[in-house]
């Protein structure tokens, strides 16, 4: 009996490693998510991305892990985060076009999805729209084409517009194409351009102060530094009696006058489709660059009143959202 019991116990012990292995958690894919702006600025966009993953069967913490990093508008942090994601051996990276060069330099293997890029072909992020090539793909937001459209909208609201100031991060090379298009459109409309370039958040206040009396309106670039400091920009611009125009709804919610551009939660949502396909085996090189399908015109009526601007009724009816 004792011998039988010993053999039975030995048999059970032999099964222990198998049982223990069976209880080990299965390794889930990891997404590295870098937001160039602050977490608060990008919260709605990140939430839309995660929600789309849920719809596609990826539940954060259960079937997929997400490593979030936020650059807070400091592009010099991009290489550091890129190196960290490579060390972590993430399965796919999600970010925006401005950060892609740092990631391409860090890895040619890990798939990279950009949810936003102004000119992915012209800036060298991908080889072509239909065949991106390499390990990078994503969505182009047509920023260069939208610059002219925004000025037409601004002229509609301010018919007397003659001098337009532009405010942007001089260190952000990716948005250069947008500003070039804005300047070209301004010349076509007979507008004088007053360029104001900054490199740090501390430069914003003196830059806007210097624009007092020199411009009729302010075009704010849609770069991470501007987006992170959108509240400060809106307050200072209002104090300087400068109506503001941008490409992101968040500026208007923060007190800017108006914005026209892609629906950014929607483009981040669509980035989730790319990630889903990549995690299921599709190569980034085989996923064509897509473009936005939803564009929003958003107006802040309270800001218009504070600036003594009477917005045309037809314009207000055409807006996708009017913030009171």
**Residue 287 domain-assigned (yes or no):** yes
* pLDDT score for 320: 94
* pLDDT score for 15: 42
Same domain, 82 and 153: no
Helix (H/G/I), strand (E/B), else coil: 28 = coil
Task: Read off the pLDDT of residues 199-234 as tens digits, 9 standing for 90 and up.
Answer: 899 999 999 999 999 999 999 988 888 888 999 999
Same domain, 45 and 170: no
**Residue 6 domain-assigned (yes or no):** no
Same domain, 119 and 165: no
Same domain, 183 and 306: yes
From 69, 116, 71, 55, select the one nearest 271 (Cα to Cα): 116
**Residue 244 domain-assigned (yes or no):** yes
* pLDDT score for 143: 57
* pLDDT score for 13: 40
Same domain, 183 and 205: yes
Same domain, 76 and 207: no
Domain that holds residue 99: 30-140+263-293
| Number of structural domains found in the chain | 2
Same domain, 153 and 277: no
Mean pLDDT computed over every residue of the chain: 88
**Residue 15 domain-assigned (yes or no):** no
Same domain, 197 and 50: no
Task: Read off the pLDDT of residues 90-102 as tens digits, 9 standing for 90 and up.
Answer: 999 999 988 999 9
- For 72-131, the three-class secondary structure string (H helix, E strand, C coil) is CCCHHHHHHHHHHHHHHCCCEEEECHHHHHHHHHHCCCCCEEECCCCCCCCCCCCCCCCC
**Residue 25 domain-assigned (yes or no):** no
Task: Read off the pLDDT of residues 113-128 as tens digits, 9 standing for 90 and up.
Answer: 999 888 888 888 999 9
Same domain, 184 and 54: no
Mode of pairing for the β-strands spanning 295-300 and 258-262 = antiparallel
**Residue 88 domain-assigned (yes or no):** yes
Same domain, 152 and 198: yes
Same domain, 314 and 230: yes
CATH (domain of 163) = 3.40.50.2300
**Residue 10 domain-assigned (yes or no):** no
d(Cα 89, Cα 6) in Å, to the nearest integer? 46
Rounded (10°) CA dihedral 197, 201, 205, 211 = 10
Same domain, 273 and 317: no
**Residue 2 domain-assigned (yes or no):** no
3-state class percentages of the chain: helix first, strand second, coil last, to nearest 5: 50, 20, 35
* pLDDT score for 177: 66
């Amino acid at each position: 009996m004792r011998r039988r019991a010993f053999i039975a116990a030995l048999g059970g012990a032999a099964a222990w490693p198998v049982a223990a292995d069976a209880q080990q958690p299965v390794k889930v894919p990891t997404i590295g998510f870098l937001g160039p702006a602050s977490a608060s600025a990008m919260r709605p966009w990140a939430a839309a991305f995660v929600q789309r993953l849920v719809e596609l069967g990826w539940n954060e913490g259960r079937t997929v892990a997400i490593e979030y990093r936020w650059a807070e508008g400091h592009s010099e942090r991009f290489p550091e985060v890129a190196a960290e994601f490579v060390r972590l051996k993430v399965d796919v990276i999600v970010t925006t076009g401005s950060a892609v060069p740092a990631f391409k330099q860090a890895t040619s293997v890990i798939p990279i999805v950009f949810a936003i890029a102004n000119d992915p072909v012209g800036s060298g992020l991908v080889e072509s729209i239909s065949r991106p090539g390499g390990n990078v793909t994503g969505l182009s937001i047509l920023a260069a084409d939208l610059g002219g459209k925004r000025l037409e909208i601004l002229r509609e609201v301010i018919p007397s517009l003659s001098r337009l100031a532009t405010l942007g991060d001089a260190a952000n090379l990716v948005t250069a194409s947008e500003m070039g298009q804005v300047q070209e459109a301004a010349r076509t409309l007979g507008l004088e351009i007053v360029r104001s370039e900054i490199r740090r958040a501390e430069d914003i206040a003196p830059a806007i102060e210097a624009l007092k009396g020199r411009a009729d309106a302010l075009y704010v670039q849609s770069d991470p530094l501007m987006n992170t400091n959108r509240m400060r920009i809106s307050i200072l611009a209002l104090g300087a009696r400068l109506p503001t125009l941008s490409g992101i709804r968040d500026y208007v919610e923060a007190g800017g006058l108006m914005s026209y551009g892609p629906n950014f939660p929607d483009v981040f949502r669509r980035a989730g489709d790319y990630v889903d396909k990549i995690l299921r085996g599709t190569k980034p090189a085989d996923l064509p660059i897509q473009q936005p399908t939803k564009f929003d015109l958003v107006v802040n009526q309270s800001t218009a009143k504070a600036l003594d601007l009477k917005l045309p009724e037809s314009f207000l009816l055409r807006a996708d959202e009017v913030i009171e």
